[in-house]
Chains A and B, each alone.
Chain A
């Protein structure tokens, strides 16, 4: 079995809201898979459907080779889940909650438990209601990582953790990665975390997967930011119009003799040829960043929007009127 998770065409509606809208997700056995998307994109809903807590209106799910609705308890023994909002029983100590969840799953490793408590610097004797948000999160993480399971489903596991603890978490995931056959599905909003840990990522938006692949593949999807100072003889307006006609050129702006734009990988060659033809005095190009790609998908306005452009083009010429690139 080489796919730990395989979901196809998942649809889930809550009354008028269409939380999942034909979502496909494939996670290979042994990989750490990043799961990204803006607020309300459907990440938590997807995880709940994968766990069999929610039933999809349409689509198929296979998890660790089994069907969640029929063999839920058997499959649940082989996985651990950290929910997005960790709430603990107010009158149970953190240690008791860790042991309870571990035992309900089928047992946990005592040595590992002690080590994790130490690494996360967590006092297990406090009552559930006395923990801070980050410490509640740690309780859930210790309960999950102290179990010997094949699959970890983590819903924004580092929200509330301080940077030191976040580093501990990354180290833990790397350790899991080194062990054979351990699969982690990591939903996150933190790009650096995903870049540091994940081999492959799926980006979802409005309940659909809009991008899925390795980080290297993703980089090819990013845009290069180009800023060119044209020679005085060149006609800036005409050049801009010509550039705008190239498919894959976005967020075009001119200010005096300066033209700036963002270009998809495929649009670079034609755009640079055109610039070379009119003559260039200076050229700055900012290499593609994943951040720009993610922001583009996070931007809910639909068009390759103004906020994306502004955020990504901070290195480009400030001021000047922006011409929306025609598509």
Chain B
């Protein structure tokens, strides 16, 4: 920070005084991660273009691919609808999840540089120098908006250089950036509402998940539950920020041109969100949220006297949030499951595809396997988050007083790990059961489909546990590298979402545990990979706990 906060660097005396200094501070702190994600996500579409051109060299190949893929409900859920069969349209369709990723990263970055700083008390240190009261928020937004713009430039340039139409390439870049901008605004608003960064992340992520779910429902035409509301649900996709930006429609050959005016709508939304965040921030005190703290108990409840009682208090909010989210996801995915086969059956030209994929049952199986592996990766995020609560407690200095009482280190760790193990498992099983149940309502076999849904979900649990175990091993042995657990999850997500599209070699795909659980849930795979997964989980957990027993607390 030295050299940055010198008074000479600060000019003016308004609420924005010091934005430049703070923005540079934020850039400095993110100097490694920010360029990486801008670049990696920025060039991702080009890698799709390369793969598609390789696999489907002629226009006829691509038309055939588009014809079969248009009927794939899993693809529809993950990427959105496919508008045509030009190379550009295929690329943009395949990158349909990129707006979710830019949105997620943007909201995390904004919260990291606003509420996290405030919660840690560092904002106060900076705020006492010559810095306007909106400067922190403005700096976080400036950095995030600029990063997304950079991403748009990378994407547009890379796609144009690959020979795709320039207008479409620019539209694709702006689609991803617009999602990032909107959710940066959502993050900025969420950061004003609560006093804890964790709760702010929760609120903003729920908003993102909700807009993804709305997009899925809208694109599928809604629930196909008997007696459910009929009619077109497409307005849901338009109402969802994710669906909205996708409707810019880069390279849209069929509809004639890109809908540039959608960008103006997105910009209006960003402006409204930023204005709301600024207004909220102006009304509250430093460190305070908008939702006031209530008084607590003067004395603890009689049962509140064990490590587990403490961790229940620390984890229950997280657990409730994830259970709700997973139940909703199960509802959405189960609701659209019945439509999986409709899409194919309604299309007489797809009869051969239909039988090749194993008929109705085969299609549903493929769909469920894909959905559950995605849910598994999301649940692994929860598992890592729960394990890393240990690290958060240690870093905040709250582990020390507990460990200075009659609580041993393994008991302390176990009290958190209970939630890291059972929480994601409960969320997965709940999502599986709800998916099966809702699908069973249309299929007539509620009991059978619920059981099947549970089975699919359970098959993912070893992979979920493996990521939790990796986080635990890092925490015990290399506590400074705890963030690597997120890198491992990101790699799994990359392999799962992007890998098959990139034609990666088999051993690379096999590195992700979710590749194995997805195969295993097909029922045909041999149990060896699953068994070795379980052994690996136990070994890593043992290593982590052994490391924890020996190391210094706190390790900074």
Contact = CB atoms under 8 A, between A and B. Distances in A.
A87 B402 contact: no
Nearest to B396: A87
Contact of A104 (B293, B400, B406, B554): B406
Interface string B290-301: 000111111110
Given A83-B400, A93-B296, A100 B406 contact: no
Contacts of A86: 397, 401
B296 A73 contact: no
Interface string B388-416: 00000000111011111111100000000
Given A73-B408, A101-B405, A83 B397 contact: yes
B355 interface: no
Given A83-B397, A104-B306, A104-B407, A96 B402 contact: no
B442 interface: no
Contacts of A85: 397
Interface stretch (A122-130, A198-206, A275-283): A122-130
Contacts of A140: 401
A83 B394 CA distance: 13
B307 A91 contact: no
A90 B389 CA distance: 14
A127 B550 CA distance: 33
Contacts of A153: 404
B40 interface: no
Interface in A81-105: 81, 83, 85-96, 98-101, 103-105
Contact of A95 (B297, B405, B552): B297
A33 interface: no
A76 interface: yes
Contact of A99 (B196, B304, B550): B304
A127 B404 contact: no
A99 B299 contact: yes
15 contacts: A53-B553, A72-B408, A73-B407, A77-B405, A79-B404, A87-B396, A87-B397, A89-B310, A92-B296, A96-B296, A105-B406, A106-B406, A125-B296, A127-B296, A140-B401
Interface of B: 195-196, 293-300, 304-307, 309-310, 313-314, 396-398, 400-408, 550-554
A100 B312 CA distance: 13
B406 A99 contact: no
Given A51-B403, A88-B398, 15 more contacts: A54-B552, A55-B552, A79-B404, A83-B404, A89-B314, A90-B195, A90-B196, A91-B313, A94-B296, A96-B296, A104-B305, A126-B296, A127-B293, A127-B295, A127-B296
A104 B397 contact: no
Contacts of B306: 103-104
A76 B306 CA distance: 15
B292 to A, nearest CB: 10
Contacts of B305: 99-100, 103-104
Contacts, number: 117
Contacts of B294: 127
Contacts of A53: 400, 403-404, 552-554
Contact of A100 (B300, B403, B554): B300
Interface string A125-158: 1110110000000001001000000000100000
User: Majority SS of interface residues in chain B?
Assistant: loop
Contacts of A191: none
Contacts of A237: none
B242 to A, nearest CB: 32
Contacts of A210: none
Nearest 7 CB-CB pairings of A with B: A93-B296, A103-B305, A99-B300, A104-B405, A81-B404, A54-B552, A96-B300
A74 interface: yes
A56 to B, nearest CB: 10
A317 B126 CA distance: 43
Contacts of A81: 400-401, 404
Given A99-B299, A104-B305, A54 B401 contact: no
A51 B404 contact: yes
Contacts of B295: 93, 125-127
Contacts of B298: 93, 95, 124-125
Given A76-B406, A130-B293, A124 B299 contact: yes
Given A105-B406, A125-B298, A87 B398 contact: yes
**B196, B293, B300 interface centre (most CB from chain A within 10 Å):** B300
A149 B149 CA distance: 61
Contacts of A48: 400, 552-553
Nearest to A90: B196
A53 B196 CA distance: 28
Contacts of A125: 295-298
A99 B306 CA distance: 10
Nearest to A103: B305
Contacts of B554: 53
B314 A76 contact: no
Nearest to B403: A53
Contacts of A95: 296-300
Residue of B297, B400, B553 contacting most chain A CB atoms (<10 Å)? B400
B474 to A, nearest CB: 19
Interface string A35-70: 000000000000010010111000000000000000
Nearest to B409: A72
A117 to B, nearest CB: 9
A10 B233 CA distance: 71
Nearest to A47: B404
Contact of A74 (B196, B398, B406): B406
Nearest to B412: A104
A91 B310 CA distance: 11
Nearest to B296: A93
Nearest to B550: A55
A99 B298 CA distance: 10
Contacts of A89: 310, 313-314, 398
Interface in A171-194: none
Contacts of A99: 299-300, 304-305
A94 B295 CA distance: 10
Nearest to B198: A90
Contacts of A72: 408
A128 to B, nearest CB: 9
